[in-house]
Amino acid sequence: MNNYEINPGEQLRNFIKTLYPLDLDIEDNIQDENKCFIDRVDQFIMAEGSFRQLVYDSTINYLVRRLIKTAEYLRRKYESDNFPPEQFIIELRKFLKSNIRLDDNDCEKLLAILQICLEVKSKSLKAAMKRRVRRNLNDNQELRCYICGRALSSAKKEDIHTDHIFPQTMGGATEEFNLKVACKKCNENKSEYIDSTDFHYEQMCFVSEKGTQSFNIELERKYQIAVWAKSQYSCSICGKPALEVGRLDFGRINLSDSWHFLNMEAYCNEHQPE
Ligand SMILES: [Zn+2]
Ligand SMILES: [Zn+2]
């Protein structure tokens, strides 16, 4: 059995980034009318480059998802007794070659990484590993959900989940480096989202003010997780993780702007800006 140091899904993501890098050569001195669409939008919504990065990261995640799911689709189709064992690889290679403009080397590399991504999907999480993940966390700190910071020491057994930080369905390894304890609610809402830019950030434009009931309704758990993930499950000021300080609250970067994904960050009690 393989031991991965980096999630196969992350290898895939890094490889796609090398194939399609974010072009950073476009500088401010270029005339407005010569800027590409995304830069003009970025300027229009006062995002100072972060929208551009967001769209890029989100698109890369979309490609990761599409490639893995397509490979899985083809494997299901060709891994039956009606076909020889190597048929799936032949079909996947054919698909990549005819649909994506890649040279032979890149195509073979992509093919190899995709196979590893599918391989990790089938590895089951054994009880012994779950126990180890919990024990590691428990050494010097209370057992908490790494996402929302909820204390889980007295939680019901079925409410304590072991979460793949990089989702297993997207090529996340079932190895200790990729596992953390999460509460049921966070684990289920995080689902197979890869990172914060993979959530539906475009839906996160709220009209209410924090502290009101309508704000609490607007900011559903999946959106809360998107903001926590954006801040790496840690306070944006001091860097202390929810695992240590408990639930991180939400705040705005620009207080005169509304509550939306790009303007939101997570903060600990001591660094709450409002
Ligand atoms: Zn939680
Ligand atoms: Zn802090």
Residues having C-beta closer than 5 Å to ion ligand 2? 235, 237-238, 268, 271
Kindly give the pairing relationship between strand 249-252 and strand 264-267: antiparallel
pLDDT value for 31: 62
pLDDT value for 33: 63
- List the chain residues with pLDDT less than 70: 1-3, 24-34, 137-140, 274
Opening angle at CA 257, ends 254 and 261, nearest 5? 80
Ligand nearest to the CA of residue 143, numbered in listed order: 1
Ligand nearest to the CA of residue 231, numbered in listed order: 2
Question: How far apart are alpha carbons 252 and 206 in whole angstroms?
Answer: 12
Question: How far apart are alpha carbons 262 and 254 in whole angstroms?
Answer: 10
CA–centroid distance, residue 142 to ligand 1 (Å):
14
Q: Provide the Cα torsion 193, 197, 203, 208; round to 10°.
A: 110
pLDDT digits (tens, 9 = 90+) for 58-98: 999 999 999 999 999 999 999 888 898 889 999 999 999 99
Ligand nearest to the CA of residue 251, numbered in listed order: 2
CB 205 within 8 A of CB 258: yes
